[in-house]
Amino acid sequence: MKKLNDNNKLAVQMLIAMIMGIVVGLLFMTVRERMGSDSSTWKLINNLLFQDITVAGGERALGLFYMGGQLFIRALQLIIVPMVFSSVVMAISEINEASTLGRVSAKTIGWFMATSIVALIMAGTVAMICFNMGMFDVIIEGVTGAVGKTGSNPLLVILNIVPSNISSTFSVNNAVLGVVFIAVVVGLSMNALKLGKDSVIYRLCEETSKIIVVFLNFAVKKFGPVAIFMLLSRTFATYGIDYLKPAFSYFTLCVVLLLVYLFVVYPFIMGAICKLNPVVFVKKIFKVIVFGFSTSSSAATLPLNLDTNTKELGVDHQIASFVLPLGMTINMDGTAIMQVVATLFIAGCGGYDVSVFQLLIIMILALIASMGTPAAPGAGAVILFTILSGVGFTGDQALIAYSLILAINRPIEMLVTSLNCVGDSVACVAVAKSEGKLDADAYNK
């Protein structure tokens, strides 16, 4: 009972921190708009609290809120690679039957594909209706936004599954799919060699996992709410509203679709397909929603998501250790929704006609490209250029609209991250239940 109360207490603390962070951020945004971003007073406030000290112009700034939020996110990112590797190795090595492993893998991929396809159909249908109604016919002038990376072939996602250098794969956080591949190979090899729990590799992974759990509990429970407050306050305080006006239709449609999928479609899946109480699921996963929204990073949210699924939702550790890290890398329902809506918005701004066949191509590209999206802030909007290149929406006006998307997309990406993380959890619970690896008593407790 004490653990349950502690979990509820943490969820409430995170919710309060989120609300306070948004409120304080909006207050500072109002101050910024009234004073002007070039005023000396605002520059003083910004340098003291919000300035990114890693960029040009931040050499003499304190950036207290930026520092606090980034220290927390970096602490969580520190454990991503060892956590993913150790958890997947143990999960695979403990499944002795090849048929069981194949079945779990097939179910996991099947769930990821199914939820992504439903998300794409919903987003494509609604966005196409809005496109045909002329809601995206916006003339944008004089917008200067961030510059996206050059588009690449979406099939590179498949190529990059197998890394060419093991040390470089383990030295960065955006090659998690490669880490998963190496961990699967190690786990399968341990099975083939009959290396059990007494092997050196297994014990090393087990001890690493225990250390990570202790570190995670300390970091999230002691510093999580404060970090959430700082991250959200800074995001909204430094977020101007000038760019939002011409993209209001894009912004509103994205938010509505993401919220519907998050609080309607996922609970419907839990109730109608998994035969589980959706209210219980939403209640227990809510702190993951808040955490993902605040950090805008699926990778940073993975430790909390894993802890929530195993300790509160009753998912077997083997299933969660395999499904969640894999989902973090290839299951991007929210990213797919955002990319479809953004592409049609850019098409409308650029004066392009979009046929049903082109919409289908956009959806396919969004599905493939979203699977390769790094689990880090800002990645989704950059990957968007891949889709635009694939369908030829690269005219001057379209690129201006693309810059606008990059300039205003931070709040959208925050909500996208929450959706991606919850989608991983839905698949995790569904696979565990189908395999008889879900503790119903723990789920309903």
What DSSP assignment string belongs to 38-105?
Answer: TSHHHHHHIIIII--TTSTT-TT---HHHHHHHHHHHHHHTTHHHHHHHHHHHHHHH---HHHHHHHH
Q: Please state the rounded mean pLDDT for residues 310-321.
A: 91
Rounded CA gap, 224 and 237, in Å?
20
Instruction: Give the pLDDT of residue 146.
Output: 42
H helical segments located in 246-395 = 248-260, 266-268, 278-295, 298-311, 317-330, 333-350, 356-371, 379-391
Q: Give tens-digit pLDDT for 357-378.
A: 889 988 988 887 777 555 555 5
What tens digit of pLDDT does each residue of 341-358 get? 999 999 988 888 888 888
Report how far residue 271's alpha carbon sits from residue 282's, in angstroms, rounded to the nearest whole number: 11
Highest mean pLDDT among 11-15, 220-224, 435-439: 435-439
CATH 1.10.3860.10 fits 80-221+241-444, yes or no: yes
Phi and psi at residue 249, in whole multiples of 5°?
-65, -40
- Residue with more model confidence, 76 or 271: 271
Structure tokens at 39: 């005023």
Confidence grade of residue 118 (pLDDT, cut at 50, 70, 90): very high
Average pLDDT, the chain: 84
Q: pLDDT tens digits for 73-94?
A: 888 888 878 888 888 888 888 7
The pLDDT, as a whole number, for residue 76 is 81
Angle, vertex CA 230, rays to CA 224 and CA 231, nearest 5: 85
Query: Residue 314: left (phi > 0), alpha (psi -120 to 50), or beta?
Result: left
154 vs 121, higher pLDDT: 121
Give the pLDDT confidence score for residue 6 in this predicted structure: 61
User: Based on C-alpha coordinates, what's the Rg of the chain?
Assistant: 22
Six token digits for residue 284: 């227990």
Q: Three-class SS of residue 438? A: strand
The pLDDT assigned to 3 comes to 47
Distances (CA, A) of 102 to 91, 150, 183, 317: 13, 37, 16, 17
> Taking 70 as the threshold, does the pLDDT of residue 441 lie above it?
yes
| pLDDT computed for residue 392 by the predictor | 82
Report how far residue 192's alpha carbon sits from residue 375's, in angstroms, rounded to the nearest whole number.
32
Q: How far apart are CA 330 and CA 370, in angstroms?
A: 7
Q: What is the pLDDT of residue 4?
A: 47
Residues 172-203 have pLDDT tens digits of 766 777 888 898 899 889 888 888 788 899 99
Q: Is the pLDDT of residue 64 over 60?
A: yes
Mean pLDDT computed over 120-147:
78
Residue type at 302 in one-letter notation: L
More confident position, 67 or 241: 67
pLDDT tens digits along 379-424 = 566 678 778 877 888 787 887 888 778 777 778 888 999 999 999 9
What SS3 state is found at 262? Answer: helix
- Distance between CA 182 and CA 434 in Å, rounded? 27
Q: What is the DSSP letter of 313?
A: S
Q: Which of 1-15, 42-56, 402-416 has the highest mean pLDDT?
A: 42-56
What pLDDT, on the 0 to 100 scale, is given for residue 119? 95
Of 233-237, 310-314, 397-401, the range with the lowest mean pLDDT is 397-401
Q: Quick check: 280 and 444 in contact, CB under 8 A?
A: yes
Domain chopping of the chain, boundaries: 2-74, 80-221+241-444
Per-residue pLDDT averaged across 42-62, rounded? 87
* Range 260-270 average pLDDT: 95
User: Is pLDDT above 90 for 285?
Assistant: yes
